[in-house]
């Protein structure tokens, strides 16, 4: 994104106001930075992606607490580091944490209004759409199926996957973006 198309402070303020487009822009703008950082640390694509999803989930949950006098990217990296450290600790202790412990107190990070990716996804015919969905990683396939084919709410998907609602929202946002890219590339190819 060019500097004129993306004003970081303005986008952060919009995200603090709960605007879905702002969350999407922040995710798009900072995804590669956080993912690349975690890929270097973990040397594992799946762990890096999972930690990155968790990072954005936690950041979007706590966006109101972000202090604009700090760098947003640095804040995301700090969250990401903490999540990675927690993951290492959990693995070392080999403890299975069955419950989230937070409940559903956070249900408003992203709204349910259709995005450009939603429109592109729904205009595809079912056969080619299913073929494109199969190109996604399995956890993204599952969240797409639950949301668009089973027509489940974020809360229902969170319960089904035993994950926090925010994490489901970030996964769905990322899955829709990746699927839209696959569909666009299929049309061009």
Q: What is the DSSP string of 20-87?
A: HHHHHHHHHHHHHHHHHHHHHHH--HHHHHHHHHHHHHHHHHTGGG--TTS-HHHHHHHHHHHHHHHH
Average pLDDT on 118-137 reads 73
Higher-scoring residue by pLDDT: 64, 98: 64
Q: With a threshold of 0.85, does the pTM exceed it?
A: no
* Confidence bin at 98 (pLDDT 50/70/90): very low
| Segment 63-76, tens digit of pLDDT | 999 988 889 999 99
* Confidence bin at 95 (pLDDT 50/70/90): very low
* Confidence bin at 91 (pLDDT 50/70/90): confident
Decide: 107 and 57 in contact? Cβ < 8 Å. Answer: no
* Confidence bin at 123 (pLDDT 50/70/90): low
Q: Domains along the chain?
A: 8-93 (1.10.1740.10), 116-188 (1.10.10.10)
């Amino acid at each position: 994104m060019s500097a004129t198309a993306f004003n970081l402070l303005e986008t952060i303020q919009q995200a603090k106001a709960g605007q879905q487009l702002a969350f999407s822009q922040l995710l798009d703008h900072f995804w590669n930075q956080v993912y690349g950082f975690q890929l270097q640390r973990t040397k594992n694509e799946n762990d890096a992606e999972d930690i990155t999803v968790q990072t954005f989930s936690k950041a979007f949950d706590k966006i109101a607490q972000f202090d604009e006098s700090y760098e947003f990217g640095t804040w995301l990296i700090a969250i990401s580091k903490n999540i990675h450290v927690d993951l290492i600790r959990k693995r070392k202790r080999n403890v299975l944490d069955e419950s989230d412990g937070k409940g559903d107190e956070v249900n408003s990070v992203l709204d349910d209004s259709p995005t450009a990716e939603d429109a592109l996804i729904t205009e595809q015919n079912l056969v080619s759409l299913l073929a494109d969905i199969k190109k996604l990683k399995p956890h993204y396939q599952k969240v797409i199926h639950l949301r668009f084919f089973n027509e489940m709410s974020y809360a229902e998907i969170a319960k089904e996957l035993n994950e926090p609602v925010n994490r489901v929202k970030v996964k769905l946002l990322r899955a829709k973006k990746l699927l839209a890219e696959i569909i666009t590339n299929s049309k061009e190819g």
